[in-house]
A = this chain, B = another copy of it.
Amino acid sequence: MKFEINDVMQILGTTPEVMKSQLYGLNKEWLMRNEGEGTWNPAEIICHMIHCEEVDWIPRINIVLSSDENKKFEPLNRTFGFEKIRLQTINQLLDEFKKLREINLKYLGSVRLTEDQLIKKGIHPEFGEVTLKQLLAAWVVHDLSHIAQISRVLAMQYYDEVGPWTKYLPILTQSSL
């Protein structure tokens, strides 16, 4: 599939509504359970999405596009802001994520990226040089990955309930990484 910025925008635009449809108004039983020690519950995943929207994707895009010679990305604290789930409802968190995404997509659209810009580079703290195109593709796949994770975390709560059907429901036997 040829990489097109419009395709990127299309998927990034769907994510807040997908996550709202998955979680809006769900009861605590579904929202606060995870897949075991060190894993995230659905509410924590939304906190992570909010944090990425605030400090990760757009700031990194701006580092690549800027005329500044320092192209180093800040490392991301993946579990930053998880305490928000004690202060805000899931509906508030989902609305906050949606609002931030709308602002970020409006900004991304306004940049009108060119082919030349897509091959410009930044320095990832672990990977070293990465292109803007790779960063945008990773943003899309990161969204999709967390949608799948939310479904898996919910599914896992019925691991003991489905009996022999585990055989045809591989979502229950995948790694939680």
Contacts and interface: CB of A to CB of B under 8 A. Distances in A.
Interface string A78-116: 000000000000000000000000000000000000000
A8 to B, nearest CB: 9
Given A7-B27, A141-B155, A177-B170, A133 B147 contact: no
A144 to B, nearest CB: 4
A152 B158 contact: no
B148 A152 contact: yes
B1 A127 contact: no
A169 interface: yes
Contacts of A22: 14, 18, 147
Given A22-B18, A134-B162, A152-B144, A1 B33 contact: yes
Interface residues of A, number: 52
Please state the number of chain copies in the assembly: 2
Contacts of A75: none
Contacts of A21: 14, 17-18, 20-21
A137 interface: yes
A130 B167 CA distance: 13
A161 B1 CA distance: 10
Given A1-B158, A134-B165, A147-B148, 18 more contacts: A1-B33, A4-B29, A11-B26, A14-B21, A17-B21, A22-B147, A127-B167, A134-B161, A138-B162, A138-B163, A138-B165, A138-B169, A140-B158, A142-B165, A144-B152, A147-B151, A151-B151, A170-B175
Which 8 A-B pairs have CB atoms at the shortest separation, nearest pair first?
Answer: A137-B161, A134-B163, A148-B148, A127-B164, A138-B165, A17-B21, A144-B155, A144-B151
